[in-house]
Structure 1
Amino acid sequence: MQIVRFKMKKISHWLYDFLIKKEFSETMATYLNVIVLCILLVAVLLVIDMLSRKILRKVSSGIATASKTKLDDLLIENRVPRRVGHLIPFMIAYWTVPHIFQDFPQTQKAAIIFLKLLAIVLVLRIARAFLNSLKSYFKTKPRLKDKPIDSYIQVFMIFAWFAGVFLALAVVADIDLWKFLAGLGTISAVIILVFRDTILGFVASIQVATNDIVRIGDWITFDKYGADGDVIEINLATVKVQNFDKTITTIPTYALISDSFKNWRGMNDSDGRRIKRAIYIKQESIKFLTSDAIEQLKKIELITTYLSDRQEKIDASNTSLGISRELQVNGRNLTNIGVFRKYMETYISQHSAVNKDMMIMARQLAPTSQGVPLEIYCFSSDKRWQNYEYIMADIFDHFLASVSYFDLELFELPSTGVYVPKN
C-alpha cells in the first residue's frame, strides 16, 4: 500500500518536478501542477463516464431483449443503468482527488467532503430510479394493480431521503453518524409534529391494504368530502377520487379509517345492483274490492290466476266460518292495495332486466303523513349506472301508470298553494 501511495505521489508531482527543472518558482509550479492535473482528471472522468454508460446501457439492453420479464425494460426506461454508470468515474475521482490536492490540505478536505455529498446524491438518484421501476413493475401485476403501491414507494423514498440528509449533515459537520442521530433524539417530537400527516397516512395506507378497505378502481361515496366516484390513486397522504362529473376529490388517506364512507365494491362483485324505491298511495283511495271490481281486475293477465285462486280460498274460508257478507269488513277480503302489491311483485318477477336469482319483493311499509309506501326491492342484472337508471325508471313508469287501474291514487303535495276560504 505504501508503494502504491509513493507511486501516486510521484505521478501527481511529475509536472511539478518538470517545472522546477525549468526554473519555475515552487509556488507557480505547485499551482500549475494542480490546475493541469484537475483538467486532465475531468477530461478522463468525462470519457470514462461516457464509455461506462454506453457499455452498461448496451449490456442491459441485450439482457432486457433476451429476458421475458418487464422489470429490466422498466429499469432501462427509468435510466437505472445510466445512473449506475456514474459510479465508475466517481470511484476513480474519490481515489485520485486526495493525491492531486495533497499539497493543499484544506482544499483536499473540502474536495473529499464534496465527493461524499456527491456520492449521497448519486445513490439517492439510483434508489429513486430503482423504486420507480419497481412501482411500474408492480402495477403490471394483476393481483397488485389495485394496491396502494405509490404509498409504499413514497415511504421507502422518504426514508431514503431522510437517511441521505442525515448522512450529508454528518459529513459536513464531520461527526460520526450514530452520534449525530443520537443528538436528533432531542428534536424527535418536533419531527413527529411536522410529519404528522405523513405518519398517519403511512399507517392508514398499511391498514387500508391489509384489511382490503379500498382498492384502486373501487367506486366509493364519501359525503364528508363530497366524493362520489372511482378511486384512481392511493398515495401516502391522499386518495384521489374521480367523481362522475369528472372532477377530482382529494381525501386524506387516514380519513378512510377514521371516518365512515360507502364502498360499492360489493355491488360490483355481486350479480346485480339493488333497486329499492317506493311509491306512496293516498290512504283515502284504499278500499275492499267488490265482486264486480275483482272480475274487472281479472282482465289484467299478470294477476288473473292469482285473483281466481285467492278469491276461491277466501270465499271457502268465509263460508266455513259462517261469516256474514252483509258488510265487506266482515271476514276475509281482497283490497285494491293488496292486489296492486301482488301485481307489482309479479311484474318485476317477470321483468327481463331483473335478476331472478336474487331477492325479489314488493312490500308495504309503515304509513306516513305522505301516504302508504309500496316499496320494490330487487336487483337489476345490468349494473352499469346508465342502464341501471333506465331499468329502474322503466319499472316505475309502468307502476305509476298502472295505479289508476286498481282505483288507487298517488299522494302528491297540492300544487295550487294554500287554500284561503271565501268570506
Structure 2
Amino acid sequence: MESVKHLLYDYLVSVGTNETAAKYLNMLLLLIGLLIIIFIIDFIIRKLLIGLFSQFAAKSKTNFDDLLVANKAPRNIAHIIPLLIALEFVPIVLIDFQYYENIVEKGLKVFGIILALWIVRSFLNTVKDYLKTLSQFKDKPVASYIQVFMIFAWVIGIFSAFAIVTNIEFIEFMASLGAASAIILLVFKDTILGFVASIQVSINDMVRIGDWITFEKYGADGDVVEITLATVKVQNFDKTITTIPTYALISDSFKNWRGMTSSEGRRIKRALYINQQGVKYLTEADVEKLKGVQLITKYLESRQADIQTYNQSHDVDKNMLLNGRNLTNIGVFRKYIDSYLKQHSAINKDMMIMARQLAPTTQGIPMEIYAFSSDKRWENYEYIMSDIFDHLIAALPYFDLEIFELPSNSSFKAP
C-alpha cells in the first residue's frame, strides 16, 4: 500500500523533480485513477442492479418492484459501493494533504447522508404509488404521511450533516438545539399544524380524494384531487384549482357532498312563487273542468264527495262559496304536484316526496317541491329538475294560477 501511495512521487523525485511538484503530480495521478475506477464500478453496478430489478419486475405478479425501478431505487442503491470505495481510498490519494483530506472525507460523508435520503425517498415514493393502486387506499391521504416521514428524515439528515461538519457528536449536537426549539417550532408551525390536521382528517374520515366539497371561504367547489401535509387541492367544476390549507378542514366549516353521492338520490328543493291574487275557491264547474286532468281525477271525485256529504250533513248554505268546506285551486295544484312527482320516472319513490306551501312572502306564495332524483350526476340532475319545473310552470294556467313576476316595461303597455 505504501508503494501505491507514492507511486509517481518517488520516480519524479529520482529524476530531479521538485518535491512539492512531485506531491501534486502524485496526488493528481491517484485522483484521476480513483475517479476512473469509481465511475466504472458505479456504471457496472448500476446497470447490473437495474437489469436485475427489471427482469425480476417483469416476472413478478406484483407491481411493487416495477415502481421501485420507476422511482430510481436501484440506481440510488448502486451508488453505495462506489461511495465506500471513495471513502476507503481518499486517505491514500490525499496522504500528503491532510487538510484537504479532512474536507473531502467530510464532503463524502455528507454525500452519504444525502444518498441515504435519496434511497429512503425512493422507497417511500414507491410505497405511496403502490398504495394508490390499492382500492382501500385510493381515497386516503397517503401522500401526507409520506411527507411527514420525509420531513423527519431530512431533519435528521441535516442535523447529522451539521454534526459531521462541526466535528460534534450527533447526540451533543441535538442537545445543543434545545435552546433553539422555539425557533424550530415557529419555522415548522404550518407543517406541524398540517400533520395534526391530516391525521384528524384521516381518522375522522372527513375528506377523501375524489370527494366533492364546497368551501366558500376559499372559493372551492369541486372534487378533491390531492391531500398533502400542507394543502388540499380541489379541482373546481370550471377546471381551476383551489389550494386549501389542510388545517383549515378542521378549523373552518365546509360542505362535503359524499353523503349525497353515496345515498340513493340527490335532493331537489326548489319553490315556485305563485301570485296570491289568483288563489280562489273552486266552483262545481271548476271542479268538473279539472276532473279532465287524469292525475287528479280520482282525488277530485273522492274529495268532492266527502265535501258534499259534510256540507249537506251540516246544512251549509252554499249560495256563498265561503261557507262550509271547499276546494281551492292552489290546494288542488299542490295535490297535482304531489301526484306528478310520484309518477315521475326519474324520482326515487323510496325517499321523501313532498309538495308544501311555505309562508307567503312579498314575492307571492312559495310552493316548494321536495324530492330526490334517482340520477345523482350533475348534468342529469339539472335536466330532471328543469323538466319538472318546465311542466309545472306550464301547468299553472290550467288551475287559474300564475307565477309572481316583478313588473317589467311590457307590463305597463296598453293592450
TM over 0.5: yes
State whether structure 2 residue 393 is matched by structure 1 residue 400. Answer: yes
**Alignment equivalent of 1:264, drawn from 257, 265, 274:** 257
CA distance in 2, matches of 1:18, 1:247: 72
Q: Could you state the TM-score of these two structures normalised by the residue count of structure 2?
A: 0.94
1:135 counterpart letter in structure 2: K
2:115 aligned partner? 122
Match of 1:246 among 239, 258, 262: 239
CA distance in 1, matches of 2:326, 2:265: 36
> What TM-score does the superposition give when structure 1 sets the normalisation length?
0.92
1:295 equivalenced with 2:278 (yes/no): no
1:84-95 to structure 2, matched below 5 A, reads 84-95=77-88
2:313 maps to which of 316, 320, 326: 320
Q: Which residue of 2 aligns with 1:274?
A: 267
| Aligned AA (2:364) | G
Q: Secondary structure at the match of 2:235?
A: strand
1:68-105 CA distances to partner (integer Å, 9 max, x unpaired)?
A: 11110011112110110010111111122123323332
Among 165, 172, 195, the residue aligned to 2:165 = 172
Identify which range, 344-353 or 202-211, moves more after superposition. Answer: 202-211
CA drift of 1:317 comes to 2.5
SS in 2 for 1:325: coil
Who is 1:360 aligned against? 353
1:193 is aligned to 186
C-alpha distance in structure 2 between counterparts of 1:79 and 1:262, whole Å: 40
After TM superposition, the structure 1 = structure 2 runs for residues 66-145 of structure 1, keeping only pairs within 5 Å, are: 66-145=59-138
Q: Percent identity?
A: 60
Structure 2 letter corresponding to 1:278: A
Displacement after TM superposition at 1:277 (Å): 0.5
Q: How far is the alpha carbon of 1:329 from its aligned partner?
A: 2.5
User: CA shift at 1:322, angstroms?
Assistant: 3.6
SS at match of 2:269: strand
SS in 1 for 2:206: coil
**Which amino acid in structure 2 is aligned with residue 383 of structure 1?**
K
> C-alpha displacement at 1:191, in angstroms?
1.9
> Could you tell me how far apart the structure 1 residues matched to 2:290 and 2:202 are?
57
Q: How far apart, in 1, do the equivalents of 2:319 and 2:185 lie? A: 84
1:82 aligned partner, one-letter code? R
Aligned partners of 2:301, 2:177: CA distance in 1, in Å? 88
> Structure 1: where are the runs of 5+ without partners?
1-7
Report the Cα offset of residue 326 of structure 1.
Answer: 3.7
Work out which of the residue numbers 33, 44, 67 in structure 1 matches 2:37: 44
Question: Counterpart in 2 of 1:203?
Answer: 196
Q: Distance in 2 between matches of 1:19 and 1:246?
A: 72
Tell me the amino acid that sits aligned with residue 100 of structure 2. Answer: T
Matched, 1:310 2:275: no
Structural RMSD (CA): 1.9
Shift of 1:22: 5.1
- SS of the residue aligned with 2:239? coil
- Segments of structure 2 that go 5 or more residues without pairing to the other structure are none
Alpha-carbon displacement from aligned partner over 1:196-231 (angstroms, at most 9, x marks no partner): 222211211111111111111111111111111111
